[in-house]
């Protein structure tokens, strides 16, 4: 049987069953648009973030890390335009009260619309196509007018009144924390242009209709890098950053045919150019990461809002100017989901259907699993534990399993993407003297086993 991919349902079911992703607050009936990462999910997520940090920060000399707070002075969201412009067009079904995004409903029937359109424009288009639009929940065709709904999540942090007239927001994106620390990084690290600031962190949005599992949630994590450049070098640096990001994503092992660039048709007024890297999710190509050329908008806005100059001084040329910014902005959850979808494989092994995750070894939540051939033979178990402890010291994320027959144990590891399984058997103990202190090493993708000396294991797996 040839290898095939999975449906969204099979991928979500595996994620839940094996401890990658759980719906939030599940025993209380859940909480829309929020997910928890389980014991395997947290390892997988960490590997994804570590890889991003490695390719973004460690493998370059011009990028600094940052971990800014989730709460920031509310004036930041005024200056960035979020309190006014960060909104989605909401429409409500008059029959069942289901709220939907008007732009997505229009897109679903093939009409071009997006969240950047103003209220008047989207209402006009919505009315024009009203005959074809149905409520996704009840199928009826009776809607309120479209109104723009702000996505910022409010809190009462620091407000001890009951009216909360100046709410502190949970950040809607991590990059604002980078912009407002531009001067701090410049003054403390003294970098020359071009240089970048990278950050991984949580962000929050009041999504009207969270959907497609980790794809569009209300709480999510971003990996963003803002790169500060001389204005005249913006577009050349932009092309370089695009190439860098695509290479980094291909380096994760995602199939090239499942990736594509999509140019933004409609740009926000300050942007020079914007492309998304799209992944072919089970529902079709959709945004995974953005690479944008933003001009001097962000620093200029925060200079105006704060009254502080956010400039760069070039002492060789003796000139002072506002750097332009290019950014790469991706969601951990979107990449997590893309990698799961891309790795999910069904084939047939030994006459049985098998599910396995064809993950790059460095990303797998369990790097190596170690088994004693039989559970009830103390000499096998103690030797297997000795091998396991040695491997765990090296990789951390190793697993010991002595439960059930060996074929079942292999299948369980295949299903979570473990690239290698090591089995300690009677030959390891010296039943055949020439095989003493050797083990079998099984490959996840082919199921093939080879005999290898314990002393060679780490170099072979690493």
Q: Does 96 bind Zn ion (CB under 5 A)?
A: yes
Encoded one letter per residue, x for contact with Zn ion by CB under 5 A and - for no contact, window 306-335 reads: ------------------------------
Interface residue with Zn ion, options 10, 24, 55, 98 (CB under 5 A): 98
Q: Does 13 bind Zn ion (CB under 5 A)?
A: no
For Zn ion, the closer CB: 132 or 308 = 132
Binding part of the chain for Zn ion, among 91-99, 249-257, 278-286, 341-349 by CB under 5 A, reads 91-99
Binding part of the chain for Zn ion, among 78-86, 130-138, 265-273, 381-389 by CB under 5 A, reads 130-138
Count of residues near Zn ion by CB under 5 A: 7
Q: Where are the beta strands (DSSP E) in 44-143?
A: 63-66, 87-92, 99-101
Residues 167-226 touching Zn ion, rule: CB under 5 A, are none
User: CB neighbours of 185 closer than 8 A, spacing ≥ 6?
Assistant: 64, 66, 191, 197
Closest distance between Zn ion and the C-beta of residue 136, in Å? 8
Interface residue with Zn ion, options 93, 277, 338, 439 (CB under 5 A): 93
CA distance 369 to 390: 12
What is the DSSP code string of 71-95? Answer: B--THHHHHTTHHHH-EEEEEEBTT
**Cβ-based burial of 109 (10 A; exposed 0-12, middle 13-18, buried ≥19):** exposed
Residues 36-75 touching Zn ion, rule: CB under 5 A, are none
CA distance 458 to 461: 5
Q: Which helix (H) or strand (E) holds 289?
A: strand 284-295
Coil, helix or strand at residue 182 = helix
Q: Which helix (H) or strand (E) holds 375?
A: none
Residues 276-295 touching Zn ion, rule: CB under 5 A, are none
Q: Mutual orientation of helices 8-17 and 332-343 as an angle, nearest 10°?
A: 100
For Zn ion, the closer CB: 93 or 366 = 93
Binding part of the chain for Zn ion, among 33-41, 94-102, 238-246, 337-345 by CB under 5 A, reads 94-102
Encoded one letter per residue, x for contact with Zn ion by CB under 5 A and - for no contact, window 134-153 reads: -x-xx---------------
Beta-bridge partner residues of 278: 260, 287
Closest distance between Zn ion and the C-beta of residue 143, in Å? 9
Q: Does 133 bind Zn ion (CB under 5 A)?
A: no
Q: Does 95 bind Zn ion (CB under 5 A)?
A: yes
Q: Does 1 bind Zn ion (CB under 5 A)?
A: no
Distance of CA 114 to the CA centre of its chain: 23
For Zn ion, the closer CB: 98 or 397 = 98
Q: Which two tokens stand for residue 141?
A: 């065709």
* Binding interface with Zn ion (CB under 5 A): 93, 95-96, 98, 135, 137-138
């Amino acid at each position: 049987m040839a290898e095939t991919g999975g449906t969204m349902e099979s991928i979500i079911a595996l994620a839940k069953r094996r401890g990658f992703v759980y719906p939030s607050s599940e025993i209380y009936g859940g909480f829309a648009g929020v997910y928890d990462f389980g014991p395997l999910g947290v390892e997988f997520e960490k590997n994804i973030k570590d890889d991003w940090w490695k390719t973004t920060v460690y493998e370059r000399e011009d990028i600094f890390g940052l971990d800014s707070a989730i709460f920031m002075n509310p004036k930041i969201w005024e200056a960035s335009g979020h309190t006014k412009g960060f909104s989605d067009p909401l429409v409500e079904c008059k029959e069942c009260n289901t709220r939907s995004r008007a732009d997505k409903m229009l897109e679903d029937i093939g009409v071009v619309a997006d969240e950047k359109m103003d209220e008047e424009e989207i209402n006009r288009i919505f009315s024009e196509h009203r005959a074809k639009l149905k409520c996704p929940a009840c199928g009826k065709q009776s809607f309120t007018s479209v109104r723009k709904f702000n996505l910022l999540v409010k809190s009462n942090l620091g407000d001890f009144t009951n009216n909360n007239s100046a709410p502190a927001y949970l950040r809607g994106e991590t990059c604002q924390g980078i912009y407002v620390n531009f001067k701090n990084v410049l003054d403390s690290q003294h970098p020359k242009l071009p240089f970048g600031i990278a950050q991984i962190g949580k962000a929050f949005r009041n999504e009207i209709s969270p959907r497609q599992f980790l794809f569009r949630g209300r709480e999510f994590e971003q990996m963003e890098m803002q790169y500060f450049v001389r204005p005249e070098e913006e577009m050349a640096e932009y092309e370089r950053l695009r190439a860098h990001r695509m290479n980094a994503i291909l380096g994760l092992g995602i199939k090239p045919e499942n990736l594509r660039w999509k140019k933004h048709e409609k740009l926000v007024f300050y942007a020079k150019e914007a492309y998304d890297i799209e992944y072919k999710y089970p529902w079709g190509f959709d945004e995974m990461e953005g690479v944008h050329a933003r001009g001097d908008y962000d620093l200029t806005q925060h200079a105006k809002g704060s009254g502080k100059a956010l400039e760069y001084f070039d002492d060789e040329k003796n000139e002072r100017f506002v750097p332009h910014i290019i950014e790469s902005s991706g969601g951990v959850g979107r990449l997590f989901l893309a990698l799961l979808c891309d790795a999910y494989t069904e084939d047939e092994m030994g006459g049985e259907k098998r599910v396995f995750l064809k993950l790059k070894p460095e990303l797998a939540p369990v790097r190596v699993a170690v088994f004693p051939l039989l559970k009830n033979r103390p000499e096998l178990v103690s030797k297997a534990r000795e091998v396991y402890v040695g491997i765990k010291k090296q990789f951390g994320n190793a697993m010991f399993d002595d439960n059930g027959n060996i074929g079942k144990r292999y299948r369980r590891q295949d299903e979570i993407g473990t690239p290698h399984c090591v089995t300690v058997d009677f030959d390891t103990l010296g039943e055949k003297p020439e095989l003493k202190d050797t083990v079998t090493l099984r490959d996840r993708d082919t199921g093939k086993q080879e005999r290898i000396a314990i002393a060679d294991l780490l170099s072979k797996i690493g």
